[in-house]
Structure 1
Amino acid sequence: MKNKIFTYILIFTLIVSNFIFLHSASAASSLDQTVQSQLGNSNIGVSLRSLTTGKVLYEKNGDIGRKPASTLKLLTASAALDVLGPDFRFETQIYIDGDIQNNILYGDLYIKGKGDPTLNKNNFLTFAKVLKRNGIHKITGNIYGDDTAFSGSQLTPGIAVEDESFYYAARTTALTMSPNSDYDAGTMIVNVKPTKVGRSPQINAEPNTSGMRIQNRAKTVSKGQRNTINIVRRYNTNQIIITGNIPIGSSAKEWVTLFDPTINTLHALKLTLAGTGLKFPSTSTVKRKKVPESAELIYTNQSIPLKTLMNTFVKLSNNSIADILVKTMGKEVYGNGHINEGLKVINEYGESLGLHMDQWSFEDGSGMSHKNRVTPNELTYLLLNVRNEPNYRILYSSLPIGGQQDRLIGGSLRKRFTSTALQNRVVAKTGSITGVYTLAGYVTAKSGRTYTFAIMTQNQTSNKVDEIDQVVKKIINDY
């Protein structure tokens, strides 16, 4: 009797196993047809991996390195959570060097930055209150900025000349500021509003002009005419040129990178302090200078914790935060806030996860460089292995969710996978640079099973987002 039961169980197991195998083979074959029809065979890579077994269920050029674009942030974010810790906070310190008499600081003010990408005008207003609490209403000297926590070039490798003035290519220094709650550090926002027909429009900058020179060459035109406003920072200068026409009833807004975040932050700070009534002599200036030993620390500002910042970083694919985190990891681990030291830390973290780092090549942490390479199979392997990390839930929660309209939930996927049948099934990181479109993350199929996937395209002459989404939909329907 026992032998018969064993035989039945064995036969049943073989039948089920054979069915699963045939279904898997059929699904892979069908998926391959979709991949080929939507994306072709060359300059693409696809990997689909089981979370249960860890095995690759389907791949197309899975072991060929491709440009990851912003899917590289998956590794950067995971490394930062592990190396810095979820409760890590950036610090910005205020020092004074001199004597205070009759509410006058006979000396200089120092601000020492350590990379806080969230530093903003509200913090500057707090600094003004701190100074006044310390009995300071006038400063006779200068305002100095200490940005020695970071070293090397302000621009990350691979930034093209034509991208240098745009927010996604912002320069990185240890003393920087953000104009908004998205923490687009190293940028300022320029708003243009019409006045009267024939006159120059009104220009407003956030947090303020910050030492940038704005040339308003634009003109207000009658309602109904075309808005042709163009706002750009002239290459390698602090000059912002505004040209074109703005019709009555319209507006224009542009994020422009700061020419030198440290100096521009100092200008913005000084303008804000002066706006609260703090006085400076006409000879007062702003400069870089390391905090001297004679200076007295009077205040330390702390940013929001990394676990909170992670949401903005990943969902909105913030390049500035990525670059800052890389340098910060280098500073924290090796005492040198150089990008190369930070990349070394990320590489070592990848090795600790069991990744095959010989299949990774990167010169930044944001994915902006066209020299970055990683294989699709390694991306899905990262997504598999990172699930065992103590901070995985934070990382997972920071990923964009397909079809969720709130930009701090859906992020860069809020306008994709919007149908009821697809909503919430795709939790993944998008990537896009010139000619490159990528998507990597987790997908839950109609079967209820969840997989890791990576779809990578490069050298494309047209947008491939819709085609990538068709491949993901195929996975949802068939697996």
Structure 2
Amino acid sequence: MVLFFRFNRILIFFFSAILPTYTQAQIVSEKLTVAFKSFANDAQLRNATTSLYVVDATSGKVIFDKNGKVGLVPASTQKVITSISAYELLGKNFQYQTQFAYSKNKDVASLLIIPSGDPTLGSWRWPGTTEQAIFKKVSQAITKAGVSQIREVLVDHAGWEEEAIPDGWIWQDIGNYYGAGPSKLNWHENQFDIFLKSGKNKGDPVSIVSIKPVLHGYTLQSEVKAAGPETGDKAFIYFPLNAPAGVIRGTIPVDQNKFKISGALPQPTPQFVRTLLDSLGKESGKDYSKVPVKSTRKVSATDYITLCTLVSPPLDSLIFWLNRKSINLYSEALVKTLAFRNKK
């Protein structure tokens, strides 16, 4: 009788312990079933194949499975794996650092930039990473150090491959903002904006109003035509490799005055340096337009004095924007950063 009573107490305790977990899993499963049904019934997916497979990370129990064994192209959902890997291997508080230094002969100085692959340098998403904020910090550091003239700019690319275009990108993608590949020195998210003006009739030529930021050493020609009023952005930018001229083809809607499309910044490293030199020249009254910009892989730190170090937002903040806006550049940069920090 005593044993039976104790056994009942054990059973009651056991079911009391597992019931909340079971109930919670059942609730999640039911919610996923309703949500997936609503998702799959969307008119935009009527010709699509959809799949969702959810597992409880603690118990390993399958909570939901719909077409879980059907092979599909994961596309940007892979950014979740990149994000988790970065959290695990870099830590959520990891920050990129971009160092600026000058040669010890400061009267005619050689300016050295040691980047780290920071994809946020010049980004408009944080107050401290904007073009204005970056140039202000560098300018103040140069003034404080008493550097009176810059004779050359060296950018350290040690340990980082020069090729920025990821394998598999197609010709129609690589000239547009989402096709921007990572460099050791990235600038303005390796993106520039073009503002276009279209005519009032279908087939009218579309002209370029302005380009921001300014492209140094590159030109663009518009072959875009005006299309119907609700046709949206169907314009694509084509920049041949190592060529100074590109072309825009496709269509935008009629009757647009400043229709914006975005492209992948060609050669972001020299674009950054030239823009920086322009800014410094305007402040000092000096002409830095012919200052040579060189890439180097052999720099002796003992020959230089640190001017300033620009620090990126923490990884936690970077990953927020990576997934919120599905920024390819951030994901590519993190993958290369993981490789560089672990294998040099």
Q: State the TM-score, normalizing by the size of structure 1.
A: 0.54
Structure 1 position 36, deviation (Å): 8.7
**What is aligned with 2:323?**
314
Report if aligned partners of 2:165, 2:180 keep a CA contact under 8 Å in 1. Answer: yes
Q: Structure 1 residues 284, 57: CA separation in 2 closer, same or farther (over 3 Å shift)?
A: closer
Deviations 1:114-158 (A, max 9, x none): 11111112212321222122223432x222222334226311222
Structure 1 residue 91 displacement after superposition: 0.9
Equivalent residue number for residue 235 of structure 1: 240
| Map of 1:112 onto structure 2 | 114
CA RMSD, Structure 1 to Structure 2 (Å): 4.4
Q: Which moved further from structure 2: 167-176 or 42-51?
A: 42-51
Distance in 2 between residues matched to 1:90 and 1:282, nearest whole Å: 29
Change (3 A) 1:330 1:33: closer
SS in 2 for 1:142: strand
Counterpart of 1:277? 284
Equivalent position to 2:178, from 168, 172, 193: 168
**153, 177, 180: which one aligns with 2:163:** 153
Contact in 2 for aligned 1:114/1:149 (Cα 8 Å): no
Report the 3-state secondary structure (helix = DSSP H, G, I; strand = E; otherwise coil) of the residue aligned with 2:308: strand
Match of 2:68 among 59, 62, 69: 62
- Aligned pair count reads 312
CA contact (8 A) 2:156 2:299 kept: no
In structure 2, what residue type is equivalent to 1:330? Answer: A
1:86-118 superposed Cα distances (whole Å, 9 cap, x missing partner): 2211111112236233xxxx2422222111111
Q: Given residue 207 of structure 1, which amino acid in structure 2 is its aligned partner? A: P
Q: Could you tell me which amino acid in structure 1 is paired with residue 334 of structure 2? A: L
Pairing partner for 1:143 from 150, 153, 175: 153
Separation in 2 of the partners of 1:313 and 1:252? 25
Counterpart in 2 of 1:132?
143
Q: What does residue 259 of structure 1 align with?
A: 266
Q: Specify the alignment match of 2:125 in structure 1.
A: none
Structure 2 CA distance for partners of 1:116 and 1:41, relative to 1, 3 Å: closer
Q: Which residue of 2 aligns with 1:190?
A: 194
How far residue 229 of structure 1 moved from its aligned partner, in angstroms, is: 9.1
Q: Distance in 2 between matches of 1:241 and 1:271?
A: 26
The whole-number CA distance in structure 2 between the counterparts of 1:201 and 1:64 is: 46
Distance 2:284 2:234 in 1: 35
CA contact (8 A) 1:191 1:254 kept: yes
Confirm or deny: 8 A CA contact 1:263 1:288 kept in the other structure: no
Of residues 58-67 and 149-158 in structure 1, the stretch that sits farther from structure 2 once superposed is: 58-67
Per-residue deviation at 1:67? 2.1
Q: Kindly provide the CA deviation profile for residues 303-323 of structure 1, in whole angstroms up to 9, marking residues without a partner as x.
A: 111112121111111110111
The one-letter code of the counterpart of 1:84 is: L
1:288 paired residue number: 295
CA–CA separation in structure 2 for the residues paired with 1:27 and 1:298: 59
Q: Structure 2 matches for 1:379-458, cutoff 5 A?
A: none
Unaligned runs of 5+ in 2: 123-130
Letter in structure 2 aligned against 1:92: T
Decide whether aligned partners of structure 1 residues 54 and 40 sit closer, same or farther in structure 2, where only a CA change above 3 A counts. Answer: farther
Match of 1:73 in 2: 79
Letter in 2 for 1:116: D
Residue segments in structure 1 that go unaligned for 5+ positions in a row: 179-184, 336-479
* Separation in 1, partners of 2:91, 2:110: 35
Q: Structure 2-normalised TM-score?
A: 0.73
Alpha-carbon distance in structure 2 between the residues aligned to 1:37 and 1:246: 30
Letter in 2 for 1:108: S
Q: How far is the alpha carbon of 1:187 from its aligned partner?
A: 1.5
What's the counterpart of residue 128 of structure 2?
Answer: none
| Greater alpha carbon shift after TM alignment, 148-157 vs 80-89 | 148-157
Partners of 1:87 and 1:202 lie apart in 2 by 42
The alpha-carbon deviation at position 235 of structure 1 amounts to: 3.2
Distance 2:316 2:116 in 1: 18
CA distance, structure 1, for counterparts of residue 245 and residue 283 of structure 2: 27
Deviation at 1:275, TM superposition (A): 3.1
SS of 2:326's equivalent?
Answer: coil
Q: State the distance in 2 between where 1:142 and 1:154 align.
A: 24
Quick check: 1:147–1:262 contact (8 Å CA) kept in 2? no
Q: Pick from 78, 92, 97: which aligns with 2:103?
A: 97
CA contact (8 A) 2:53 2:66 kept: yes
Name whichever structure is richer in helix by fraction.
Answer: 2
How far does residue 286 in structure 1 lie from its aligned partner after superposition? 2.2
User: Counterparts of 1:128 and 1:248 in 2: how far apart (Å)?
Assistant: 42
- In structure 1, what is the Cα distance between the partners aligned to 2:236 and 2:47? 40
CA distance in 2, matches of 1:154, 1:266: 18
Contact 2:177-2:262 at 8 Å conserved across structures:
yes
SS at match of 1:190: strand
List per-residue Cα deviations over 1:204-240 (Å, max 9, x = no partner). 3333324432336789x9xx9x999946233323434
The one-letter code matched in structure 2 to 1:299 is: C
Asked if the contact 1:191–1:251 (Cα under 8 Å) also holds between the matched residues in 2, the reply is yes
| Aligned 8 A contact 2:99 2:309 in 1 | yes
Change in 2 beyond 3 A, CA 1:315/1:304: same
